[in-house]
Amino acid sequence: MIDFEGQVAIVTGAGRGLGRLYALDLARRGASVVVNDLGGTMRGKGADTSVADQVVEEIKEAGGRAIASHHSVDSPEGGQAIIDTALDEFGRLDSVVSNAGIFNSIPFDALTPDDWRQMLRVHLDGGFYLSQPAYRVMAKQNYGRFVFISSSAGNFGQPSEAHYAAAKTGLVGLSNVIAIEGAAHGILSNTVLPTGFSRMVTETVGDEKFLEESGFMRAIRAELVVPLVTFLASRACEVTHRNYSACAGRYARVFVGLGEGWLAAAEPTADDILEHIDAVSATDKFIVPDSIVDEVLEVCDRLGISAMPDNAEVAFPDPTRS
């Protein structure tokens, strides 16, 4: 059994829905948990301290250890305060599940700058404000696990969710770089794209009869997302720099692949692109780069040139070297 004895985990947005389930499972497995939740509405309005407090009581009644945090992730001060709560109460930090977020549906042509900024401020800015101070703690102890909750809405697209999709996909980029730079410090970072029945689904769909009768809605039980998040937050996890989908008991890697493409023999024009667009767009042969360096090296190899400057040892900085 994967256990978290002696470890400390932070779960943001842990007062309700999926976040609550993550916190409960980590605590059940021995983790001391910081249950962070501002207690606002799904659309980011208001606050209610009892939302996080109730989950803490639930954990304690089951014999676990937990403390509530009511700070918002949407400021540097809030992110630091959440990390300080873990250190002040439990003395260390091992895992961070960045789950806090808001949600609303707005068609792209009706999206206002304020709508856009509010969504990015909570999801993407919040992910940064939380993870940077956590990273500094983990680097000193040479161990850490990040799990960023992203979304298929961003990776694959979802109507009326341009702001949400952009914010959630931004977390993938953040996680990728943390994984690369954190490798030298024992820090692993991955993202999860969950599909689970929660208030996001109920408040968005709105049709109670459909929600009750839909086989798919019954299949996407929120509990089915938890095992993947728990594993990625644990010492048993040895993978990093990856994205995983959890949907109705199906768990799968989600990846960005780089196609072989078409290599121009001379100075290409737009007309040449048109002529070779099928080869440019083909996906039947691809690689999954570990960083931007892999793409450059692959192209250099096909061109028969060196990526290394003359008399230089390394052409690109290697962030995995401490």
Active site (catalytic) residues: 164
8 A C-beta contact, residue 188 and residue 239 = yes
Q: Do residues 184 and 319 make contact, with C-beta atoms less than 8 angstroms apart?
A: yes
Question: Number of H helices and number of E strands within the chain?
Answer: 14, 10
Q: What is the rounded CA–CA span in Å between residue 11 and residue 129?
A: 14
3-class secondary structure, 51: helix
Tokens of 100: 């806090």
**30 φ/ψ sector (left φ>0, alpha ψ -120 to 50, else beta):** left
3-state secondary structure 130-168: HHHHHHHHHHHHCCEEEEEECCHHHHCCCCCCHHHHHHH
